[in-house]
């Protein structure tokens, strides 16, 4: 797939992997729509993409608000054109034991981590089919391969994302639409091994323990630009010294 001129939608684009992926796709020539809630961080990410020489559009949206998600896609089509790349990098969690987890919190995690990727895929599929192909990268987690305590909502949605991806891949293949799941391990972001305060105190962790998000973004960019006839169905992308993986 030729990235130059392609329209890409990236969720969770204000920080971490989503932000790094937005920059990397823009460097490859894509026109990138950045979806995220935090307007201040989103504006900074938009500026970073533009400083890298790319075309960017910041689209503030709460992925738990499904009507807002639909409106955001309409805006992208109107301002940038039909999407050919979708990277669902956003994720949320409400940690804690299952018996103490409010149902409302569980349902919000489901909306952000699972329902929003479904809806976004549903909305971009017709555009990709009309273009003769496209690619969707669903960012899961090693928590989508192995569950652990105090993360029932997160693990449940990340496991479910695999099933959604496989179903979408089966539906998309006849139309040249590739759908991929990646399972990142620890990354050097506030979502990974260290929160922002800890990073400020300790500096970035060694990459063999927590991958720089730019390196995982490089892999996502490679997937998007891979030959149209080649499908990578899933991949675990983890630091070499993370226990238990691959």
Instruction: Give the residue, 199 or 162, on which the prediction is more confident.
Output: 162
Q: What is the pLDDT of residues 4-55, one digit of tens each?
A: 899 999 999 999 999 999 999 999 999 999 999 988 999 999 999 999 888 9
Q: Which is nearest to 37 in space by CA: 111, 96, 107?
A: 111
Pairwise CA distance, residues 76 & 65, whole Å: 17
Instruction: Give the residue, 52 or 161, on which the prediction is more confident.
Output: 161
183 is catalytic: no
For 64, list phi and psi in degrees, rounded to 5.
-80, -10
- Topology at the third CATH level for domain 7-237: Rossmann fold (3.40.50)
Decide: 35 and 62 in contact? Cβ < 8 Å: no
Percentage of the chain lying above the pLDDT 70 cut:
93
Q: Which is nearest to 196 in space by CA: 185, 204, 206?
A: 204
Decide: 84 and 9 in contact? Cβ < 8 Å: no
Q: What is the pLDDT of residue 194?
A: 36
Q: What is the pLDDT of residues 181-191, one digit of tens each?
A: 999 999 988 65
List 154, 183, 209, 219, catalytic entry: 154
Instruction: Give the residue, 203 or 76, on which the prediction is more confident.
Output: 76
Put the strands of the sheet holding 177-184 in their side by side order: 55-60, 31-36, 7-11, 85-88, 134-139, 177-184, 234-237
Average pLDDT, the chain: 91
Q: What is the pLDDT of residues 193-243, one digit of tens each?
A: 334 444 445 567 889 989 999 999 999 999 999 998 898 999 999 999 887
pTM for the structure as a whole? 0.93
């Amino acid at each position: 797939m030729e990235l130059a001129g392609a329209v890409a939608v990236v969720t969770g684009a204000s920080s971490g992997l989503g932000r790094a992926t937005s920059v990397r796709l823009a460097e490859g020539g894509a026109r990138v729509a950045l979806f995220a809630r935090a307007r201040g961080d989103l504006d900074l990410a938009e500026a970073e993409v533009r400083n890298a020489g790319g075309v960017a559009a910041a689209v503030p949206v709460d992925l738990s608000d499904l009507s807002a998600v639909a409106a955001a896609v309409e805006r992208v089509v109107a301002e940038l054109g039909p999407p050919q790349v979708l990277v669902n990098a956003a994720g949320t969690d409400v940690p804690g034991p299952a018996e103490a987890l409010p149902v409302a919190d569980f349902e919000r995690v489901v909306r952000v981590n699972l329902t929003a990727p479904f809806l976004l895929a549903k909305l971009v599929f017709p555009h990709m089919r009309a273009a003769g192909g496209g690619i969707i990268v669903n960012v899961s987690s090693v928590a989508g391969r192995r569950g652990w305590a105090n993360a029932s909502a997160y693990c449940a949605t990340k496991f479910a994302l695999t099933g959604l991806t496989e179903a979408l891949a089966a539906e998309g293949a006849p139309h040249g639409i590739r759908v991929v799941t990646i399972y990142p391990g620890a990354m050097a972001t506030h979502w990974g091994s260290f929160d922002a305060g800890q990073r400020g105190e300790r500096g970035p962790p060694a990459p063999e323990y927590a991958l720089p998000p730019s390196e995982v973004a490089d892999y996502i960019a490679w997937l998007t630009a891979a030959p149209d006839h080649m499908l990578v169905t899933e991949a675990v992308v983890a630091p070499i010294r993370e226990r238990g993986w691959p």
